[in-house]
Structure 1
Amino acid sequence: MIEMTPDQILERLVAFPSVVGTPNQAIVGWIADYLEQAGARVTLLAGPEGDRSNLFATVGPADQPGYLLSGHMDVVPAGEPGWTSDPFSLQRDGERLTGRGTSDMKGFLACAVAALPAIARRPLERPLHLAFSYDEEAGCRGVPHMIARLPDLCAPPLGCIIGEPSGMRAIRAHKGKAAARAAIGGRAGHSSRPDLGLNAIHAMAEILDQAVTTARRLTKGPFDENFEPPYSSLQVGTIHGGQAVNVIPDQCTIELEARAIEGVDPVGLLAEVEACLTTLTDRGFTAGWEVLSSYPALSLAADAPLAGLMEELTGQTPLAAVSYGTEAGLYQAAGMPAIICGPGDIGRAHKANEFIELAELTACVRMIEALGNRLVL
């Protein structure tokens, strides 16, 4: 095979517009072909949607415990104003590589794919796995299906490295998250006769009040000073309803999320809002509640072997925590030690002219190669 450099692979990956919630056969197929040519055993794991798949690849003896490199293939849409180039065509400006997903997180995927051929040629005593998921940006929807299949694919890993952008400094913890949609159905009519209708927006105001009350209460603790802010949080992010100012609105929908410190159930933080919603049915409204996504917090002890390994591989003491979430909590919940470490900066993600530096890719490849050295006979 003709081996490619990380930036060459990144150029190919960015060119696939693998936006969250859309089919991903093209990017999955390209990665699978490359890894198979490199000597990896590749399994494609179709999700229940039918048009997108997770990808799992192994080099070395799968029946032995090894290490797993995890990343997601999807990206957020690139509709932000301010892009100065095609988001799905990698642009090079000296050391800077610009394009959607360069930091979050096709840069890490490119490094893992680029490092694999050399590792595959070595006499491995323990395996290295690549676990690439879909629809992470929709609340980690794809990876649970892959995690459920891992017992059939490999021995329990010694550790999972989730390559979200962290400036190549490992991170031991993050908050958990749950998102939900609340929908109210009322009765339409002319605004001059409010007594004959049921105003769904007015009813939703009660739900919003409960959400704000819960959010304020959470600021009073419990606390974990490793996070910013050091408490769990709740917010309403969207609201939709009504047709015209002179029509009684018969529909109103909100989407809200909760982010939870370790030891707090993120879905449980939404319970008071859900309970308030259900009381509306006694007054003739219809009420719908749907949990859109959820994932648990991550918490890896400072003295865990995986934390020590990452300090050796990166030369930096792992950070205690970040407030954003990743798939790492799901691996940990399934019994696998997990930690975050990848190239790029989360501050560049989800905005116009997202970029990564060549030096960041180089540092990531070196980390993966150093990990590969630990797996050799």
Structure 2
Amino acid sequence: MDSIQILERLIAFPTVSRDSNLDLIAYVTDLLAAHGIICQIIRSPDGHKANLFATIGPTDAPGIMLSGHTDVVPVEGQNWTLPAFEMSERDGKLYGRGTADMKGFVACALAACLKASKMTLRTPLHLALSYDEEIGCIGVHSLIDMLATAPQRPLLCIVGEPTGMQVATGHKGKLAARAICRGREGHSALAPLALNAIHLGCDFVSALRREQDRLARDGTRDGDYDIPYTTVHVGRMNAGVALNIVPNLCQLDFEIRNVAADNPQEILDGLRKEASRIAAEASAIAPEAAIDIDITNTYPGLDTPANSQAVAFVKSLTGANNTIKVAFGTEGGLFSRDLGTPTVVCGPGSMAQGHKPDEFVSAEQMRRCDDMLEKLLEQLSDHQFKLRD
């Protein structure tokens, strides 16, 4: 099977993050097993999802790992003109949920594994497929734990998120947090005698905006990013029961996406001080006033040196002369931090099409990815690698 045929099968599995990916994992397991490739399955604690890891070639040496996630974002509320979970081909574009993000790469990686099974590799090829990447790189942790205790760790990881087949050496880290603002309920006709938790929340949002202004003005800059500084963003506010009730609770979900030189924990510590100040001022009205902040999820950024041997190797596979950094997060930062594995991001398609209706990847991008992996297999069959960075 070629990569586009495999992609058609992958799209047909509606692996939205809230649902199971086990049917897709079973398909991949059977496909690889038919070519003599044994897969290691790492199930989620509830058993409804799984990671997959496979090695082609020698098992007593570290290899090159191709990494992708199997989950996709929902399609509800989007104006799709083509079936979301069926592949449609028009004018050289392959449509369907996950084509760009990132089943296109997974299909190319699987096609490469099938080719590799017929070759004699001196350096092994590893395949790593994860779940729940779209909700914060959550599922991959158990796979990383397994690799951390394995006799061999991968020499290099290529995360195939869509980069237009450019070699990306970095992405920002992310810290997601929730602020619980507590006031005092009351009748809206007597609102000044109560403490509106939404007002507390709005005051905290103002503090977040001041911090964003400071970071944009005075913060560390990395010119390789479209937005060259750390960003602070409020994504959700939930509060209120009825218009005539002063709400006593307001929940805010916000995030910090940091460049490598910034410590998101230090930024959060400053925001906690602002939250305490806001609550202290409000305690004159209601002593129970409080703003409590909890971290809900976090993952590190990626910052692989552009002049490293690992980056030079991947550039040699693609023919690239330069590198980029991407705005979106990936599992690459975890592989780099927790395993010490040099990691780059390189895959077919563009995130400009990801998460949108009528998502697509071009057949030309798939071909370019196939070509990159074909060159990788040639290198793995010719050499026993020892990358030194």
Under a length normalisation based on structure 2, what TM-score does the superposition of the two structures give?
0.91
| Contact kept? 2:306, 2:323, Cα under 8 Å | no
1:265 to 251, 263, 272: 263
In structure 1, what is the equivalent of residue 350 of structure 2? 345
Are residue 314 (structure 1) and residue 318 (structure 2) matched? yes
Cα distance in 2 between the residues matched to 1:99 and 1:344: 13
For 1:275-290, list aligned pairs within 5 A: 275-278=273-276, 280=279, 283-285=287-289, 287-290=291-294
Which letter maps to 2:363?
L
In structure 1, what is the equivalent of residue 364 of structure 2? 359
In structure 2, what is the equivalent of residue 231 of structure 1? 229
Which letter maps to 1:321?
K
Which letter maps to 1:299?
D
Deviations 1:224-268 (A, max 9, x none): 212222111111111111122221012211111111111222343
SS class of match (1:173): strand
| Contact kept? 1:311, 1:317, Cα under 8 Å | yes
In structure 2, what is the equivalent of residue 200 of structure 1? 197
Give the deviation of 1:112 after TM superposition: 0.6
In structure 1, what is the equivalent of residue 148 of structure 2? 151
In structure 1, what is the equivalent of residue 88 of structure 2? 91
In structure 1, what is the equivalent of residue 97 of structure 2? 100
Which letter maps to 2:372?
M
Cα distance in 1 between the residues matched to 2:45 and 2:293: 22
Which letter maps to 1:298?
L
Compared CA separation, residues 165 and 311, structure 1 to 2 (3 A): same
Cα distance in 2 between the residues matched to 1:21 and 1:324: 20
Which letter maps to 1:142?
G
Which letter maps to 1:265?
N
In structure 2, what is the equivalent of residue 217 of structure 1? 214
In structure 1, what is the equivalent of residue 332 of structure 2? 328
1:172 to 166, 169, 173: 169
Cα distance in 2 between the residues matched to 1:287 and 1:22: 33
Identify which range, 339-348 or 138-147, moves more after superposition.
138-147
Give the deviation of 1:196 after TM superposition: 4.5
Compared CA separation, residues 308 and 227, structure 1 to 2 (3 A): same
Identify which range, 44-53 or 215-224, moves more after superposition.
44-53
Give the deviation of 1:195 after TM superposition: 4.7
In structure 2, what is the equivalent of residue 129 of structure 1? 126
SS class of match (2:264): coil
In structure 2, what is the equivalent of residue 296 of structure 1? 300
1:73 to 67, 70, 78: 70
| Contact kept? 1:13, 1:106, Cα under 8 Å | yes
Compared CA separation, residues 130 and 369, structure 1 to 2 (3 A): same
| Contact kept? 1:169, 1:316, Cα under 8 Å | yes
| Contact kept? 1:65, 1:156, Cα under 8 Å | yes
The runs of 5 or more residues in structure 2 that have no matched partner are 383-389
In structure 1, what is the equivalent of residue 272 of structure 2? 274
In structure 2, what is the equivalent of residue 161 of structure 1? 158
| Contact kept? 2:220, 2:262, Cα under 8 Å | no
The runs of 5 or more residues in structure 1 that have no matched partner are none
Give the deviation of 1:67 after TM superposition: 0.3
Cα distance in 2 between the residues matched to 1:319 and 1:161: 14
| Contact kept? 1:177, 1:267, Cα under 8 Å | no
Identify which range, 263-272 or 142-151, moves more after superposition.
263-272
Deviations 1:301-321 (A, max 9, x none): 122111111111001124232
Under a length normalisation based on structure 1, what TM-score does the superposition of the two structures give?
0.94
Which letter maps to 2:213?
R
Which letter maps to 1:338?
T
Cα distance in 2 between the residues matched to 1:305 and 1:233: 31
| Contact kept? 2:197, 2:248, Cα under 8 Å | yes
Are residue 21 (structure 1) and residue 18 (structure 2) matched? yes
SS class of match (1:137): coil
Compared CA separation, residues 376 and 154, structure 1 to 2 (3 A): farther
Give the deviation of 1:278 after TM superposition: 4.7
| Contact kept? 2:75, 2:357, Cα under 8 Å | yes
Give the deviation of 1:372 after TM superposition: 1.2
Compared CA separation, residues 21 and 266, structure 1 to 2 (3 A): farther
Cα distance in 1 between the residues matched to 2:46 and 2:295: 18
Cα distance in 2 between the residues matched to 1:286 and 1:35: 55
Which letter maps to 1:186?
G
Compared CA separation, residues 23 and 276, structure 1 to 2 (3 A): farther
Which letter maps to 1:255?
D
| Contact kept? 2:16, 2:71, Cα under 8 Å | yes
| Contact kept? 1:80, 1:351, Cα under 8 Å | no
Q: Give the share of equivalent positions with the same residue, in percent.
A: 38
Give the deviation of 1:288 after TM superposition: 4.0
SS class of match (2:334): helix
Give the deviation of 1:300 after TM superposition: 1.4
